[in-house]
């Protein structure tokens, strides 16, 4: 174990199609290759990162409940009468440092429960704390018992109760953006809503927690560590015309809605001034990597058709960009 304690890193944005799942998976692979024991936690009921990591195995086994998933962990609470199932094991993928807890569409049932549980916790009722802390308690137990360095958590783009408790229990979160107007709106939405969530929890659930066990009270202090510009296109070393205005507006939006509200110390300035990394639009390499259930930079040159002009160059750039991105994230996780 490289870190003193496990780190919970959430990938989130209030906009679909920002490449969140692809970035989360590729970063997890990089972390594992650099010696960090990494577990992907699929907390999106759409289960895209599970399909990306496990392919047809996921469809054949997990969705038919022949293999354990996040729903297996939470089933006792969702159906009533029990607690989390800490015996659920992570599935190893690719190497000895990379694992996954697959998602399950039934996670939406747990979110229905959370709508009541959160309000109970906010009113100081023990059952509410017990239920809202379920995912966080499971990750803490597993992190300590299995020497996990990083939990990479993939989420849906929604702003419902599930993402609310995920962020209130997170250590860090990173925001993927695309150079378009919808991503700018997503930054503003997420920053403002999360600020409301944190303040509400601080003034209710945390104040009223009294003699509730600490492990059942969400910290509510998730730290924004930076943003990633995804699917970036340029011509002649400059953003293409369609992306130019948005590229110029992203830092100011990040500073106003994320850095100044959800950072501390030097990160307030660092996270708003410059992106963690710009990730190029790699064209057909992304769907190809998804079809082969590997990271983009793990594709072989033999996988790339000769007729795809620029694909070899894109592959080399992917290796370089994800290497830098993972280093930048690990640097922040080490410092904070």
What's the CATH number where 146 sits? 3.40.50.300
Of the CA atoms within 13 Å of residue 11, those in its CB half-sphere come to 30
Q: Which residue has the tokens 């296109």?
A: 233
Is there a domain that residue 263 lies in?
yes
Position 236 scores a pLDDT of 45
Position 89 scores a pLDDT of 96
Position 227 scores a pLDDT of 96
Is there a domain that residue 1 lies in?
no
Is there a domain that residue 200 lies in?
yes
pLDDT in tens, 136-181: 999 999 999 999 999 999 999 999 999 999 999 999 999 999 888 8
Domain of residue 155: give its range.
7-335
Do residues 8 and 170 lie in contact, with contact meaning Cβ atoms separated by under 8 Å? yes
Q: Which of 259, 227, 270, 263 is nearest to 246 (CA)?
A: 227
Is there a domain that residue 242 lies in?
yes
Is there a domain that residue 229 lies in?
yes
Taking 50 as the pLDDT cut, the residues of the chain under it are 235-236, 307
**Number of domains composing the chain:** 1
Q: Which of 53, 101, 64 is nearest to 291 (CA)?
A: 53
Is there a domain that residue 66 lies in?
yes
Is there a domain that residue 2 lies in?
no
Position 152 scores a pLDDT of 98
Is there a domain that residue 53 lies in?
yes
Q: Which 3-state string (H, E, C) describes the chain? A: CCCCCCEEEEECCCCCCCCHHHHHHHHHHHHHHCCCCEEEEEECCCCHHHHHHHCHHHHHHHCCCCCCCHHHHHHHHHHCCCCCCCCCCCEECCCCCEEEECCCCCHHHHHHHHHHHHHHHHCCCHHHHHHHCHHHHHHHHHHHHCCCCEEEEEECCCCCHHHHHHHHCCCEEEEEECCCHHHHHHHHHHHHHHHHHHHHHHHHHHCCCCCCCHHHCCCCCCEEEEEEEEEECEECCEECHHHHHHHHHHHHHHHHHHHHHHCCCCHHHHHHHCCCEEEECCCCHHHHHHHHCCCHHHCCHHHCCCCCCCHHHHHHHHHHHHHHHHHHHHHHHHHC
Position 22 scores a pLDDT of 95
Position 103 scores a pLDDT of 95
């Amino acid at each position: 174990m490289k870190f003193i304690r496990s780190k919970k890193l959430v990938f989130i944005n209030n906009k679909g199609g920002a490449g969140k799942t692809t970035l989360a998976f590729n970063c997890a692979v990089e972390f594992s290759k650099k010696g960090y024991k990494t577990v992907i936690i699929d907390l999106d009921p759409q289960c895209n990162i599970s399909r990306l990591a496990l392919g047809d195995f996921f469809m054949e086994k997990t969705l038919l409940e022949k293999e354990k998933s996040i729903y297996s962990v939470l089933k006792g609470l969702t159906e009533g009468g029990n607690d989390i199932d800490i015996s659920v094991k992570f599935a190893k993928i690719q190497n000895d440092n990379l694992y996954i807890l697959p998602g399950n569409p039934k996670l939406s049932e747990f979110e229905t429960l959370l709508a009541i549980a959160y309000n109970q916790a906010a009113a100081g009722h023990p059952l509410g704390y017990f239920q809202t802390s379920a995912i966080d308690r499971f990750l803490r137990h597993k992190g300590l018992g299995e020497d996990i360095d990083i939990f990479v958590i993939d989420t849906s783009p929604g702003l419902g109760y599930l993402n609310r408790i995920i962020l209130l229990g997170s250590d860090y979160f990173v925001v993927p953006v695309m150079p378009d107007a919808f991503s700018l709106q997503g930054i503003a939405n997420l920053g403002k809503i999360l600020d409301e969530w944190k303040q509400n929890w601080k003034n209710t659930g945390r104040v009223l927690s009294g003699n509730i066990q600490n492990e059942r009270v969400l910290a509510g202090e998730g730290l924004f560590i930076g943003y990633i510009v995804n699917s970036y296109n340029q011509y002649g070393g400059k953003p293409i015309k369609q992306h130019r205005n948005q590229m110029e507006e992203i830092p100011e939006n990040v500073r106003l809605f994320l850095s100044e509200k959800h950072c501390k110390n030097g990160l307030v300035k660092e996270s708003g001034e410059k992106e963690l990394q710009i990730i190029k639009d790699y064209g057909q390499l992304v769907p190809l990597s998804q079809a082969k259930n590997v990271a983009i930079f793990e594709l072989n040159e033999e996988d790339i058709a000769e007729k795809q002009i620029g694909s070899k160059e894109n592959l080399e750039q992917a290796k370089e960009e994800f290497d830098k991105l993972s280093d930048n994230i690990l640097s922040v996780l080490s410092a904070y």
